[in-house]
């Protein structure tokens, strides 16, 4: 279920896709975040985009997680403490999670001056979602740590995208686990039925593997709208269009494995069929230069990061970036 890490730049146009999923806040969490909701924010006098340095054509980190374990065995593993520390760093640095679905469709509804981050989880491991008999998340699972972080930092929304395979979250059972994720506002998304390497299959075979993942989700949690795919091993099928559309599925975001922030979904250069992700990694881990710690350092130090203007209906940016805007969004543009 793991893939060799390949920096996106080394892919030479081939496909390194990964998966992601998004979740949403629980009813309780939604209540807790009411003060930060758009409706509540709109009661406060809006700040001018320049005042908060709005840059809605800026870069967005889409972070990729696999397994949380006390004893990491590969670069894809992180300890629960590492994960907690990374979420708390994001919260302190004014990042607000949005699901992959909301990101790829440009529904980025976060307070003025904050930055979107997309948290994605691959392979549906039990360390991500495991429920106690009473239905609460087990200690040190990703969903438990997300919820705890949001309690400590009320602006931080506990929503993520879970890219799952068939027989997801075996300790809890896929029906129960996927339903819990949906009810708590997370996104459930596809990572194929059996984690097939799509580049090794013919067109029919790749379509079958993607369809199998879609059907497994629909069977476990009927009514789920699956709109995102992460490619196992980051491997793109041929032709690439098979990842986006086939019998029984249609995705508006397809996710890679490496190795840099995405451009804004409002930018001309945005590539919904091949969205890059950043592997979660400490500052001294293997290939750290492509990992999350170093990338978050770079985004904090530079001026390329996405900064929200607080109004989900407009796209605000310094007028010098005007040429980067997708032409389809000209009417929503607020250059300053
Ligand atoms: Zn995977």
Which tens digit of pLDDT belongs to each residue from 92-108? 999 999 999 999 999 99
Give residue 2 CA to ligand 1 midpoint distance, Å. Answer: 6
Beta carbons of 178 and 110 less than 8 angstroms apart: no
Region 19-31: what's the mean pLDDT? 35
Nearest to 9 by CA among 259, 298, 295: 259
User: DSSP 3-state assignment of 94?
Assistant: coil
Nearest to 292 by CA among 109, 104, 90: 90
Structure tokens at 301: 């130090």
Beta carbons of 200 and 249 less than 8 angstroms apart: no
**Of 3-7, 63-67, 262-266, 285-289, where does mean pLDDT reach its minimum?**
3-7
Give residue 166 CA to ligand 1 midpoint distance, Å. Answer: 12
| 258 pLDDT tier (thresholds 50, 70, 90) | confident
Give residue 5 CA to ligand 1 midpoint distance, Å. Answer: 11
Which tens digit of pLDDT belongs to each residue from 112-122? 999 999 999 99
Burial of 139 (0-12, 13-18, 19+ CB in 10 A): exposed
Give residue 17 CA to ligand 1 midpoint distance, Å. Answer: 10
- Dihedral sign for Cα atoms in the order 171, 173, 178, 184: negative
Q: Which CATH class is domain 8-335?
A: alpha beta
Q: Does this model's pTM top 0.75?
A: yes
Which tens digit of pLDDT belongs to each residue from 285-325? 999 999 999 999 999 999 999 999 999 999 999 999 999 99
Give residue 55 CA to ligand 1 midpoint distance, Å. Answer: 32
Give residue for tokens 């930092």. Answer: 153
Give residue 302 CA to ligand 1 midpoint distance, Å. Answer: 31
Give residue 254 CA to ligand 1 midpoint distance, Å. Answer: 13
Query: How many other CB atoms sit within 10 Å of the CB of residue 22?
Result: 30
- Spans of all domains in the chain: 8-335
Give residue 197 CA to ligand 1 midpoint distance, Å. Answer: 10
């Amino acid at each position: 279920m793991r893939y060799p890490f390949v920096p996106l730049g080394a892919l030479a146009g081939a496909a390194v896709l990964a998966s992601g999923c998004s979740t949403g806040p629980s009813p309780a969490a939604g209540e807790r975040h009411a003060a930060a909701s758009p409706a509540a924010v709109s009661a406060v006098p809006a700040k001018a985009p320049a005042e908060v340095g709005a840059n809605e054509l800026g870069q967005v980190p889409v972070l990729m997680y696999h397994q949380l374990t006390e004893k990491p065995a590969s670069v894809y593993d992180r300890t629960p403490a590492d994960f907690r520390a990374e979420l708390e760093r994001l919260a302190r640095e004014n990042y607000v999670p949005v699901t992959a679905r909301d990101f790829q469709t440009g529904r980025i509804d976060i307070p003025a001056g904050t930055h979107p981050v997309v948290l994605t989880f691959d392979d549906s491991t039990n360390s991500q979602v495991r429920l106690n008999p009473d239905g609460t998340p087990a200690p040190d699972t990703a969903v438990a740590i997300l919820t705890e972080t949001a309690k400590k930092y009320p602006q931080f929304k506990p929503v993520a995208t879970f890219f799952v395979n068939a027989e997801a979250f075996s300790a809890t059972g896929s029906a129960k686990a996927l339903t819990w994720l949906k009810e708590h506002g997370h996104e459930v998304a596809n990572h194929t039925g059996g984690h097939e390497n799509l580049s090794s299959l013919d067109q029919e075979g790749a379509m079958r593997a993607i369809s199998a993942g879609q059907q497994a989700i629909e069977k476990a949690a009927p009514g789920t709208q699956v709109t995102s795919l992460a490619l196992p091993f980051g491997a793109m099928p041929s032709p690439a269009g098979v990842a986006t559309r086939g019998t029984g599925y249609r995705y508006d975001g397809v996710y890679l494995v490496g190795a840099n922030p995405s451009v804004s979904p409002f930018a001309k250069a945005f590539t919904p069929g091949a969205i890059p992700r950043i592997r979660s990694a400490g500052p001294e881990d293997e290939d750290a230069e492509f990992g999350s710690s170093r990338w978050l350092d770079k985004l904090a130090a530079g001026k390329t990061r996405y900064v929200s203007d607080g109004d989900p209906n407009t796209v605000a940016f310094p007028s010098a970036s005007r040429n980067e805007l997708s032409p389809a969004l000209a009417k929503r543009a607020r250059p300053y």
